[in-house]
Amino acid sequence: MNTHNKKLREQFRKARTALQGDFEERRKRFRYSVSGTRVRFDSEIRDIHRAARENLSGFLSRTRLLVVLTAPAIYALIIPLALLDLFVTIYQAVCFPVYGITKVRRVDHIAIDRHALQYLNWLQKLNCVYCGYGNGVISFVREIAGRTEAYWCPIKHARPLADPHEHYSEFADFGDASDYQAHVESQRRDLSGHGD
Cα dist from 48 to 32, 34, 45, 118, 188, whole Å: 13, 19, 5, 9, 51
Tell me the sheet residues that pair with 34.
Answer: 39
Rounded Cα gap, residues 59 and 37, in angstroms:
28
pLDDT at residue number 110: 96
Predicted TM-score (pTM) of this structure: 0.84
Q: What is the mean pLDDT of residues 41-50?
A: 88
Is 195 or 114 the better-scoring residue by pLDDT?
A: 114
Q: With H, G, I as helix, E, B as strand and everything else as coil, classify residue 39.
A: strand
- Residue 84's pLDDT band, with cuts at 50, 70 and 90, is very high
The residues spanned by each domain of the chain are: 45-191
Rounded Cα gap, residues 116 and 45, in angstroms:
12
| 1 pLDDT above the threshold of 80 | no
- The top-scoring range by mean pLDDT among 1-5, 157-161, 167-171, 177-181 is 157-161
Rounded Cα gap, residues 40 and 25, in angstroms:
16
